[in-house]
Chain A
Amino acid sequence: MVKEFNILITGVGGQGVILISELLGRAAVTDKLRVRGSEILGMAVRGGSVTSAIRIGEEVYGPLIPTGKCNVLVGMEPSEALRNIACLSKSSLVIINTAVTVPFTVSIGESKYPSQEEILRQLGKASSKIVQMDAAKIAQEAGSRLATNIVMLGALFGTEQLPIKIDTIKETIRERFPAKLAPVNIRAFDLGYEACRQAVK
């Protein structure tokens, strides 16, 4: 039985961060694993930063990932991945969707958005394993841009480190979506899975 496996999903309100953590949690329970997690709702959902932690294992008690103990950081948005740099250690894996969501504060000149190079350079100081992918584009290939989050979920499984069975998560996806939308999401999952698996090889 797995002792502790920590996943942090970060992004912007509306990107479907919470949905992925719900799917992970349900699948973990189906696989008879212990799950803990937490997220910030309320103020944060109106286009603000969103983070959701999912922790699996026998030795997990608290809802938050302790500093430096994240196994995989899933960044649905590059700067939001960077914002959570403190959860990383050298052995953490980072998966980033390269599609940028610029906050309105940049438009009104109140802040600046870092370059992709800056983001990667900084993240590289914390972790040596960073996988990048244009998840929105992959989702489009699968049939819907709305499945971007499921592409990232697939990529998370593509690390081949997760204690949850692939069949279980796919079944959970099928249950969660209406029959009409399930195939697109399964395709998105498979493409994300493959993209990450190739990259981490």
Chain B
Amino acid sequence: MKELTISSGSPGQRLFVLGNEAIARGAIEAGVQVAAAYPGTPSSEITETLAGVAKELDMYVEWSTNEKVAFEVALAASICGVRALASMKHVGVNVAHDPLMTAGYIGAKGGLVLLSADDPSAWSSQNEQDNRYIAEQGYIPVLEPSSVQEAKDMMADAFKLSEQFGQLFMLRSVTRIGHARGDITLGEISRERRKGQFIKDRTRLVYTPREARINKPLMLERFEGIKKAVNTLPYNQLKLADGAKLGIIACGLSYSYTLEAIKWLEIEDKVSILKIGTPHPLPEELVLKLLKSVKEVLVAEELDPFVELHVKAIAGEHNIPVKIHGKDLLPRIGELSTRKVTEAIAHLTRAKTPVDFASIDKLEQETAPLLPWRPPALCPGCPHRASHYAIRVASRRVARDLGKDIEPIYPGDIGCYALGYNPPQEASDTIICMGGSFGIASGLAHVVEAPIVAHLGDSTFFHAGIPPLVNAVYNKANITMVILDNSATAMTGFQPHPGTGYTAMGDETVLLKPEDIARACGVKFVEVVDPFNLKEATEAIEKAIRFPGPAVVVSRRLCAIIEQREKKKRREKVIPYRVDQDKCNGKCNACIELLGCPALIKEGTKTVIDGSLCTGCGLCAQVCPYKAIVPE
């Protein structure tokens, strides 16, 4: 039997998949022809999955330099009548915000879908923004799935709906959808392949003030049509229970938690439920029916009270005397759970909770102090550890010369190297957004007197690091910008980018070098170093900091994970290091305290190297004052 894969299978067959694979499958079933994205947790696997089958299915898939470009690539395809998808994490949508706010005016010719992967609880993000507000601002209808199966179905339908109403649609996923797993029932794969056709249409495509004024009413008209239609979409479902006093409006994934909660509380027949699959626009007729049939309503949704506020507005407009609860009983912070929804419902129905949550909480609190802190850490052999160390040593040398009260400042950025903010590196003083390190450094330069050394990775540099670099040159910001070039978008799963020499679909392409870009942008001090040569790297960074004006150091060394994989392929042996116990006094701990490498451990008073973790980078041997660390 041929193995069932994401790009095969006939309708009705079942497959166990990751939520993001299900979303990719939905796009495949819809016959998506163009998919563009910038990697970001929890969205990356969608585009990875599509890239893996692109040639086989005659699709075009790309990793774009950033989310704005990704959205523009998809928008262009849609303008030409081709079905297109742009995928990004929630904060990536901020980067795409500019074209997004006009895309609603343009409308969609080929089905156009924006996948926003929100991250309640901020598992891998700098904030937990709720992107339904962005959709509302741009008149973009939102589909929000309650399960992995529905995520696939909605993605497939989103393209049809987009074409039916001539409007861009958003699919709002969350971490517990994209990184959930489940069995899905497959649908038919569309083999339709359209040829893109660009038809010149200034009124629809050229946005001067005139076109904005012409197209806004048309957009509003399209949106009114969608508002009516959502009442009959299968993703919105009203189930009224006879004589129910309580109604629950459950949006997206909260619907799954609600189903479990009412079963747990054994009140399935006693509450009315409105399942919401389109939080924007809400199915107003269904909402009204529910509001009129009950005394109290609980709105269950993750993050902000988006549905809640709209439901309250509907109740107010129609003078319905119903008490509406939501964020008074459920948190705005963090993802929801069956427990949280159960407790909120139990509070309203005065039902007894099925489990004594208080005693479990007590046990958990009592356990917390026993647990060791296990944050994610830079891998053994990670070149970022070396770069962080070199930056620290070099900047302190310069600071010392400037005066005893002066401390260097390290604006940091988004990527694996952010993990170095933990001790012992403490390598980042700010981490805010993609490319933010260079921008923040530029600003700092005009208000504080200290060595300012910003760092970001190669993929982040191409994404959002070039404009602030140009800014630093133009506005004469005296800063040092270190580009940690490990030839990978490592944090999100090693996706290729403009500095790797190949594309998402595996084709060879030009390889752009950050140092060439920096020189072309007018940076007068540009050096390239190998961070594993600590002395050379430290000296170059020190020279860069002392250089009057903006300076760039490219710290280049392949990501340790990729390097290990390649060595394995080449059947090259890894030679780990070991501690010569005759030379190590066991008390100085410099290697551990300076580097925090997971391969360096204490066994009683002895310092040892875990040979199964050590990659043989030799960094610890370079910092050991007793020369006690040697290759095996």
The 0/1 profile, CB within 8 Å of A marked 1, for residues 353-378 of chain B is 00101001101101100111111111
Q: Is B98 an interface residue (CB 8 A)?
A: no
Scan residues 55-77 of chain A and give those whose CB is less than 8 A from a CB of chain B. 59-64, 66-69
CB < 8 Å: which of A42, A62, A118 contacts B370?
A118
A26 to B4, CA, bound (A): 11
Scan residues 4-28 of chain A and give those whose CB is less than 8 A from a CB of chain B. 12-13, 21-22, 25-26, 28
Q: Is A43 an interface residue (CB 8 A)?
A: yes
A40 to B357, CA, bound (A): 24
Q: Is A113 an interface residue (CB 8 A)?
A: yes
Which residues of the other chain, B, contact A46 by a CB distance below 8 angstroms? Answer: 376-379, 416, 419
Q: Is the CB of B339 within 8 A of A66?
A: yes
- Interface centre among B15, B180, B371, B592, by most chain A C-beta atoms within 10 angstroms, is B371
Q: Is B38 an interface residue (CB 8 A)?
A: no
A44 to B416, CA, bound (A): 11
Given contacts A26-B16, A41-B41, contact A108 B592 (CB under 8 A): yes
The 0/1 profile, CB within 8 Å of B marked 1, for residues 89-131 of chain A is 1000000000000111111101111100011001001100000
Q: Is the CB of B370 within 8 A of A66?
A: no
Which residues of the other chain, B, contact A38 by a CB distance below 8 angstroms? Answer: 176, 179-181
Which residues of the other chain, B, contact A28 by a CB distance below 8 angstroms? Answer: 16, 183
Q: Is the CB of B180 within 8 A of A103?
A: no
Given contacts A46-B377, A63-B176, contact A35 B372 (CB under 8 A): no
Q: Is A37 an interface residue (CB 8 A)?
A: yes
Which residues of the other chain, B, contact A170 by a CB distance below 8 angstroms? Answer: none
A43 to B419, CA, bound (A): 8
Residue of A nearest to B368 (CB): A83
CB < 8 Å: which of B41, B148, B179, B598 contacts A47?
B598
Q: Is the CB of A66 within 8 A of B337?
A: yes
Given contacts A66-B264, A67-B360, A86-B363, contact A103 B374 (CB under 8 A): yes
Which residues of the other chain, B, contact A114 by a CB distance below 8 angstroms? Answer: 370-372
Given contacts A35-B182, A63-B176, contact A122 B370 (CB under 8 A): yes
Q: How far is the CB of B82 from chain A (nearest CB, A)?
A: 31
Q: Is B216 an interface residue (CB 8 A)?
A: no
Given contacts A42-B123, A104-B598, A107-B592, contact A36 B376 (CB under 8 A): no
A39 to B20, CA, bound (A): 12
Q: Is B596 an interface residue (CB 8 A)?
A: yes
Interface size on A, residues (CB 8 A): 59
Which residues of the other chain, A, contact B205 by a CB distance below 8 angstroms? Answer: none
Q: Is the CB of A42 within 8 A of B491?
A: yes
Residue of B nearest to A13 (CB): B376
The 0/1 profile, CB within 8 Å of A marked 1, for residues 242-257 of chain B is 0000000000010111
Q: Is A185 an interface residue (CB 8 A)?
A: no
Q: Is B601 an interface residue (CB 8 A)?
A: yes
The 0/1 profile, CB within 8 Å of A marked 1, for residues 396-426 of chain B is 0000000000000000000010010001100
Q: Is A45 an interface residue (CB 8 A)?
A: yes
Q: Is A183 an interface residue (CB 8 A)?
A: no
Q: Is the CB of A47 within 8 A of B180?
A: no
Write the residues of chain A forming the contact surface with B, with a CB cutoff of 8 angstroms. Answer: 12-13, 21-22, 25-26, 28-29, 34-49, 54, 59-64, 66-69, 79-80, 82-83, 85-86, 89, 102-108, 110-114, 118-119, 122, 125-126
Offer 27 A-B interface pairs, CB within 8 angstroms, sorted by A: A29-B15, A29-B16, A34-B183, A39-B179, A44-B124, A46-B379, A47-B377, A54-B181, A59-B263, A61-B260, A63-B181, A63-B182, A66-B338, A67-B355, A67-B360, A68-B360, A82-B370, A86-B364, A103-B377, A104-B377, A105-B372, A105-B375, A107-B601, A108-B592, A110-B423, A111-B372, A114-B370
Write the residues of chain B forming the contact surface with A, with a CB cutoff of 8 angstroms. Answer: 14-16, 41-42, 123-124, 146-148, 175-177, 179-183, 253, 255-257, 259-260, 263-264, 337-339, 342, 355, 357, 360-361, 363-364, 366-367, 370-379, 416, 419, 423-424, 491-492, 592-593, 596-598, 600-602
Q: Besides the contacts A66-B264, A68-B355, A104-B598, what 11 more A-B pairs have beta carbons closer than 8 Å?
A: A22-B181, A29-B14, A44-B376, A64-B176, A67-B355, A82-B367, A85-B363, A85-B367, A104-B377, A104-B596, A108-B596
